[in-house]
Structure 1
Amino acid sequence: MDAPLRFRASSTIWSRGCSLLYYGMARHLPSSIAPGGRWWKAIRAAVCRQLFASCGNDVNVETRAWFGSGRHLSLGDRSGIGVNASLHGTIIIGHDVMMGPDVVIYSQNHQFSRTDVPMNRQGFQPERPVIIGDDVWIGARAILLPGVTIGSGAIIGAGAVVTKDVPEQAIVVGNPARVVRSRTALVLQPA
């Protein structure tokens, strides 16, 4: 009985130590595009590998990214979290995902249904995970709200506020985000 408790305590200590290392040092290292960037990228990835629920190969967690404890975050192979991104709650990010700077993702919202109780005393709504498919590009300052699923191959335009699911290969822009075209409908002209 003591061994599992000791393991649990030591893994909690390890997790807290890794969080301290990330938020105290690794988060503040220069961007991966700065001189020496591959080293900064490698250090942040190594620390995040210890924090995330799952973390793929060749990931890029950029400078000043915030994700709480990271224990409910999954990041796929060759995916990135943008500069100064802010990720809250359970978020599953597929493979080959690009994320611009200042992206915000929430999987939970405040409760606000009662008018007789101040909103800041009503707690939170149940968590609704955000799922991002493979090969997705999320533009700068986009906001993804609780429960949305972003289909594989989609593009989220800069500044878009995503309140509903986004179909595969869709290009969405605006507030609220709306589909403006499909990537499969794009016809490339010969050079």
Structure 2
Amino acid sequence: MRTLLGSAAVACGLMLGAAAPAQQPTVGVFGQKYPVSDFNRSIAYYTKYFPLQKGKLYNDTEMALASTEPTSTQRPITLWLDPCAGPGGQAAAARSIEATDTVHRKLATCTSRFRAGSAWLFIMVPDAAKSAALLRADGHEAVLKRVPATGPGYLLFLTEDPDGNIVEAVQAVTR
């Protein structure tokens, strides 16, 4: 009996151990980086108008914005501080990144097209009308549109962050 229970425990442990990797998909979007020229200005913008809060500082050039919604499945957004958009531009960037491959070399020499103002971000919001009204009250463009779909539709608007990156806010709604 002891051998049977021990074997069952080992088998359960093996099954649980094997099941753990299956819970995380092997293919999918892990996250996204979003180029900005000023962390403080961008954090103030995103936390005022969208359900996001300042997250973890990964290093000198990367900081997370996380959802404030407890049921959100959104992965954190990583703000990437674009050294080419700041004072000193290319010279400062070349000193700050060790260019060990072509992609890093392009980022370090400001020849990559990944610049502040070149991104498009989708953010799920609980109340698109409220976010759009807050933006409009402060002089930002945010035209609310209802988009029908098979099943629930969407309320959405496009706006630009302080760097000119496009932000599309989306709220799923019932018919």
Q: Is the TM value for this pair above 0.5?
A: no
Query: What TM-score, normalized to structure 1?
Result: 0.23
Query: Normalized per residue, which structure has more helix?
Result: 2
Query: Normalized per residue, which structure has more strand?
Result: 2
